[in-house]
Amino acid sequence: MTRTLAREVAKKIGETVTVRGWLHKKRLLGGLNFITIRDRSGLVQTLVDNKDELEKLRGLQIGTVLSLRGTVVADERAMGGAELHDVKVEVEVPVTEEPPIEIDKPISHKSEHLDTLFEHRVLNIRNLQEQKIFKIRADLTRYIRAFLNDNEFIEIDTPKLLAEPTEGGAEVFKLDYFGKTATLAQSPQFYKQIMVGAFERVYEIGHSYRAEPSATTRHLTELTMLDIEMGFVADHDEVLDMVADMTQYTLRRVYDEHADDLRTLNAPELKLAEDNKVPRFTIAEIHDMYTKATKTDTTQEKDLIPDEERWISDYARKQLGTDLVYAVRFPIEAGKFYHKLDVEDGTVLWGDLLFRGLEISTVPLRENNYEKMVQQMKDAGLDIEHEGFKYYLQAFKYGLPQHGGCGFGIDRLVQKTIGLANVKEATLFPRDINRLTP
């Protein structure tokens, strides 16, 4: 028997159809009883007025898997303008245990309830409002892939199991690997640069692992990163423009195609500049502006403090009409060995893309000259003979063009697009310093 989806029911007035899905809501009025079914397409209401059919549902809880066969009748009073009548009930999978949360009601996202949210994730992800977040997430990455594929980027996959921590920076997880010590990749940095030597333009959407003991609203230990690397770029500006274009394309499209869902999720109105430009301020400029505006002196900081990120984003939205802003030219002491340095200026050719007060991407130009790389690694106190650098340096030794790219936090993009308070809310099964389940 062919299955009809909830969203197709209204198109089949007068036909006898079978809908299959989960029991979503029972409204029992005595002789007249409304049973709402949920499937992947949404909800459909059925009218059960036969006592024997209704009795099949006695003692069965929300979540029971049902197959309902009935005649589609147009009725203004039903959701979607149609409902099933003369329904025959078949219980496919009975559920007799009462669920620990109410699936048909919006799930609380207050910070003090996040523990409950994730403890009951298996069930609350059945809530239609909750599902919107992850449908939007799926499409955000779909649009990103569309943009990058159209611009001749090749999607790659790189290993997450690595031999040694070599990149520096974030703390890495260590694990036993048949008697050796392996680490989980904190980013695909080395591999994506290596791949520039083959494909010029590459990207990866995958997991990265950070063992930082950070307990904040913007940190995960397992995060989803979009990593992009682009060869033969003329300068840093070309990389900044490409990431800005991609981000704006993605945001405009998601606000267009998911307008209703974003509204019901209380997402902020999207503001982007008419000319598609993302304003840029140097770190030094932001320190000066912030210090003048708030009387808090940050001019000695090497990076932006979180409040400065919020402040400059607020400034960009109110004064320049855009939710996106670049903080560029970090002080040279903040750079890593693979960054392109502007020694005269004392800065690194590195920009952070801020979206609604949060850093969502780092966008640097890389040093591509083999001799300079080796020197910068030595200056950083690294052992260039180390196994972990051997293969990486081969790519440079045998010819890498000037290149740059970005590490882009997908979880944070989803969070800020929707206006969620905590990055974990944008993640199905978040991993943080004290959560490994579910």
Quick check: 173 binds RNA (CB under 7 A)? no
* Range in contact with RNA (rule: CB under 7 A) among 130-138, 313-321, 354-362, 385-393: 354-362
* Count of residues engaged in binding RNA, rule: CB under 7 A: 73
Distance CA(87)–CA(31), nearest Å, equals 14
Among 98, 260, 379, 385, binds RNA (CB under 7 A): 98
DSSP notation for 127-184: SHHHHHHHHHHHHHHHHHHHHHHHTTPEE----SEESS--S-SS---EEEETTEEEEE
Contact set for RNA, span 252-291 (CB under 7 A): none
Query: In whole angstroms, how close is the CB of 60 to RNA at the nearest point?
Result: 7
The stretch near RNA (CB under 7 A) out of 109-117, 251-259, 269-277, 375-383 is 109-117
Q: Are strands 201-209 and 154-155 parallel, antiparallel or unpaired?
A: parallel
Structure tokens at 429: 């099964």
Q: 128-150 and 410-418 are packed helices; what angle lies between their axes, rounded to 10 degrees? A: 120
- Identity of the residue, 268 or 306, whose beta carbon is nearer to RNA in the bound complex: 306
Q: Is 14 in the site for RNA (CB under 7 A)?
A: no
Identify residues 183-212 at the interface with RNA (CB under 7 A).
Answer: 187, 210, 212
Taking alpha carbons only, the member of 90, 114, 116 closest to residue 101 is: 116
The smaller minimum CB distance to RNA, of residues 63 and 231, is found at: 63
User: Strand, coil or helix: what is 4?
Assistant: coil
Residue 292 within binding range of RNA, rule CB under 7 A: no
DSSP strand pairing (174-177 vs 161-162): unpaired
DSSP 204: E
- Select the span of 12-20, 55-63, 195-203, 368-376 touching RNA (CB under 7 A): 55-63
- CA angle (210, 216, 222) in 5-degree steps: 30
C-alpha 187/C-alpha 169 separation (Å) is 11
| 116-155 residues near RNA, rule: CB under 7 A | 116
Q: Does 412 bind RNA (CB under 7 A)?
A: yes
Residue closer to RNA (CB basis): 151 or 214: 214
- Count CB atoms within 10 A of the CB of residue 108: 13
Stretch that binds RNA, among 28-36, 241-249, 270-278, 283-291 (CB under 7 A): 28-36
User: Which residue in 126, 402, 407, 417 binds RNA (CB under 7 A)?
Assistant: 407
Could you say which of 51, 58, 180, 318 contacts RNA (CB under 7 A)? 58
Nearest distance in Å: CB 25, RNA: 6
Q: Does 220 bind RNA (CB under 7 A)?
A: yes
Going through 29-123 in order, the beta strands assigned E by DSSP cover 33-39, 42-48, 65-74, 82-93
**Looking at 158, 166, 248, 422, which residue binds RNA (CB under 7 A)?**
422
Question: Smallest gap, in angstroms, from Cβ of residue 84 to RNA?
Answer: 10
Site string for RNA, 364-403 (x = CB under 7 A): ----------------------------------------
Residue choice 27, 135, 174, 386 for contact with RNA (CB under 7 A): 27
Among 20, 24, 137, 219, binds RNA (CB under 7 A): 219
CB-count exposure of residue 153 (10 Å: 0-12, 13-18, 19+): buried
Q: Which residues contact 419 (CB under 8 A, 6 or more apart)?
A: 265, 266, 267, 268, 356
Cβ(51)–Cβ(34) below 8 Å: no
Told to check if 421 binds RNA by CB under 7 A, we report yes
CA 373 – CA 350 distance, rounded (Å): 16
Residue nearer to RNA on the CB measure, 59 or 159: 59
Quick one: 90 or 102, whose CB is closer to RNA? 102
